[in-house]
Amino acid sequence: MVRTLNWVSAARSLADGLRASGDISSRSVYQAVASTPRHAFVPTHFENSGGVPTLWQRRTEEDGVRWLEPIYSNTSLVTELGSAEAVDAGWHGVPVSSSTQPSLTARMLEDLGIEPEDDVLDAGLGTGYQAALILKLVAGPDRLTACDISGTDAARERLEALGHHPRIIEADATSWRWQRQFDKIIFSFGLPYVTDSVRTALAPGGRLIANVFGPMSAGLVLLEARSDGTLSGRFTEDGGAFMPARREAGPVRAEPGERSGGTSGIPVEDFDNYHLKFLLSARLPGLDLQYGTEKGRPVRRLLLPDGRWGEVAYRAEGGAAGSYQDRGQGLWAIVEETWAWWSAHAKPTWDQFGLTVGPDGRHTLWHRSPDGDSWDVPTAHLG
């Protein structure tokens, strides 16, 4: 039975693997991973068995190694399905919660550089595993505040069973009125943008790491706080991948403008490039991309949260040019302009960009340095 497992050996093996891959570089993060029982935080996870719609297999301790091995591997685990429906061969549903891939968590903790005396905010408590790692890095439980928009009871119980008693708040971390400032803030969900609540929660000289500008292709940014309330920093080499924030209120929808069209020179393969999609996501926050075909022709459709959209259909025989339609009040002009800049600058990757968030909440994306090419990031419609 897996109850007799020597989990210490399994956790140490996970930590060894992450150190060998370069995801762990410090002794403190290594020891945190090596001494934390991840299985205690993942009593259930769902295994993807393929199919349309996706068929999920529910794994628990009763499944033995099929439950346990993925937990102590470098794997992101789906822990909750929305609209879950039991079927003959498993479950149907949409993933709404997960246990983050350990390598990504480790890199984020390394980038933050948490010190024992730091006050830390863990935004997105989830299963509680990341909070358990942080508690191994700080001097005591009073140094950690963990927050989640819903369902904190299970994580609290798991932490308490291991003797951990941090401050836990059930709230939307992006809008909560924080009564204190933190030296380090880590987000384990996709952050649409840095709200004033988040910006003012970071103490001068502090660091914040978050996955921003999803859902299409988010980037992982490390921001530092200045004394005037400005946050600024660079995107990391690894974009990371997190489920989007569950917000307390949705965006306001707008009526799209009149339909327009023309010819696009954007190659279809460029729409599949993570780095172009990242830049488009920064310029058009909330942008999503749909893939399809129409009469054998590849189609790419771009959608905004307020209802605006544009799409391009490519010639079936191949070639770069396609015919686009725009119901987005100038959406496609921004897409073409962004692609032209990106192509002219040797198709830069997301780690060549940085972000500055001013005291007034203005977001500015910049290339190479704050003095380089830059763009305002419109965030008002996501508020």
Indicate if the pLDDT at residue 16 is higher than 70: yes
pLDDT band (50, 70, 90) for residue 324? confident
| Highest mean pLDDT (candidates 117-131, 246-260, 311-325) | 117-131
Summary mean pLDDT of the chain: 90
Residue 241 pLDDT grade (very low, low, confident, very high; cuts 50, 70, 90): low
The residue behind tokens 């400005």 is 230
The pLDDT value given to residue 216: 83
pLDDT confidence band for 248 (50 / 70 / 90): very low
This prediction has a pTM of 0.91
Is a pLDDT exceeding 70 seen at residue 29?
Answer: yes
Give the whole-angstrom CA distance, residue 19 versus residue 74: 12
103-149 pLDDT, tens digit each:
999 999 999 999 999 999 999 999 999 999 999 999 999 999 999 99
| Residue predicted with more confidence, 324 or 201 | 201
What is the per-residue pLDDT for 382?
Answer: 56
pLDDT of residue 245: 58
Look at residues 18, 111, 29, 125 and name the one whose alpha carbon lies nearest to residue 72: 18
Question: How far is it, in rounded angstroms, from Cα 120 to Cα 326?
Answer: 45
pLDDT of residue 257: 55
Task: Decide which of 354 and 292 is more confident.
Answer: 354
The pLDDT, as a whole number, for residue 180 is 92
Residue 304 has phi, psi (to 5 degrees) of -110, 155
The Cα-based distances of 173 to 185, 187, 256 in angstroms read 11, 9, 31
Question: CATH 3.40.50.150: does it fit domain 102-235?
Answer: yes
* Domain boundaries along the sequence of the chain: 2-99, 102-235
Note whether 312 and 324 are within 8 A (CB): yes
Q: Is the pLDDT of residue 321 over 80?
A: no
CA 6 to chain centre: 32
Which pLDDT score is estimated for 156?
A: 97
Residue 375, pLDDT > 80, answer yes
Residue 300 pLDDT greater than 80, yes or no: yes
Ordered alpha helix ranges (H), the chain:
7-20, 27-34, 65-71, 102-112, 129-135, 153-161, 196-201, 274-283, 331-344
For 47-88, the pLDDT digits (tens) are 999 998 999 999 999 999 999 999 999 999 999 999 999 998
Report the pLDDT averaged over residues 217-239: 93
Overall average pLDDT of the 211-228 stretch: 90
- pLDDT computed for residue 150 by the predictor: 86
Res 254 pLDDT > 50? no
Among left, alpha and beta (phi > 0; psi -120 to 50; other), residue 82 is beta
Out of 159-168, 218-227, 252-261, 290-299, least confident range: 252-261
Please report, rounded to a whole number, the percentage of residues in the chain having pLDDT higher than 70.
Answer: 91
Average pLDDT value for residue range 171-186: 95
